[in-house]
Amino acid sequence: MEAFRVIRSRALRLTLLACAAILVPAASASAAYAPQLQISFNPATPGKPVAITSHLTQAAGETPSKTVRVSFPVGFSPNLGAKATICTLADPDVFACPKSSQIGTAVADAEIFGEAPHYDGFVYFGGPVAGKIGSFQLLVRLISERFGEQNIVGIAQLRPDGGYDTVFDNLPNALVRNFTLSLSGDGLALLQSPQKCGDYSVKTAYTSQNGETGAQTIPFKIAGCAVNARASTLGLSRSGVASFALSAAGKTTVSVTRGGKLVKRRTVQGKRGTNRVQMGKLRAGRYRVSVIAPGGNIARRSVTIGK
């Protein structure tokens, strides 16, 4: 994936060039380098335009990061219904993006020249990258009252295996203690969650300004898929216990009728495998037991209970 390029405003760039050598202390060679990312998806259900919130932290004394790579697993796909317009940069040092191109917000806390400036900002959609199939730009505009504007252009790109990578590269040599990037969902979402339920993971790779490296594997789950279970081996005892087996767990309704009239009905949370449900003591006679399995499949069986 093509990396992000970092763009400073003219005023801030001149200040950094003039003061960096004097005012930015070199990181200790013994300091640990271990950036930590937390990431969440909303909704974490299958096949939906997804809002993504990522929160990256570094501890005091760590070397500032130069490159941050976040790799999404196979299963994520572009949200073809995204409605954001494209922000075209007439001047790469100035982000004059229309509101219609905003796809999220950003917040950062840094350590610069012995101070701890806070940045608030926005994320804009920069559109597809020419010659890079499945790639698009993220334009991050951060603003500090003290240090002015910090602009970052990023490229997210489809991997050959079908997953997506997002990379921040050539970041400024200043420690960012907290960075939160919140990408909108629904009609502004850039990605759609995997179609299949299950366990997934996001992988990260970090490189510091001094060449130190770190990595994480962050598990998450996609849940809420429709269950399509089947019931089998239905039975009914004189004591009124209905028995059945389910191919998958879920909400199950059990009914017992006699002569076309309902005797008892219960709805339970069935488990995968054998289930037993007390329906009440029954008299001798011929009954019909019905099970509506998760997903709506129905199984029936007639049972004769002797004296």
Which of 295-300's residues contact partners 24+ apart within 8 Å by CB, and which partners? 295/226, 295/227, 295/228, 295/229, 295/248, 295/250, 297/228, 297/229, 297/230, 297/231, 298/231, 299/230, 299/231, 299/232, 299/234, 299/244, 300/234
pLDDT band of residue 24 (cuts 50, 70, 90) is very low
pLDDT tens for 173-189 read 889 999 999 999 999 99
For 31-83, what is each residue's pLDDT tens digit?
Answer: 589 999 999 999 999 999 999 999 999 998 899 999 999 999 999 988 888 89
User: Residue type for 139, please?
Assistant: L
Structure tokens at 35: 């950036």
Kindly list the structural domains of the chain, giving each domain's residue range(s) and its CATH number in brackets, ordered by start: 5-222 (no CATH), 231-305 (2.60.40.3110)
How far apart (Å, rounded) are the C-alpha atoms in residues 8 and 150?
A: 5
pLDDT of 169 > 70? The answer is: yes
* Alpha carbon distance 267, 54 (integer Å): 41
Torsion of the alpha carbons at 208, 59, 2 and 93, rounded to the nearest 10: -100
pTM over 0.75: no
Q: How confident is the model at residue 7 (pLDDT cuts 50, 70, 90)?
A: very low
Rg (alpha carbons) of the chain, rounded to whole number? 29
Within 10 angstroms of residue 147's Cβ, the number of other Cβ atoms is 21
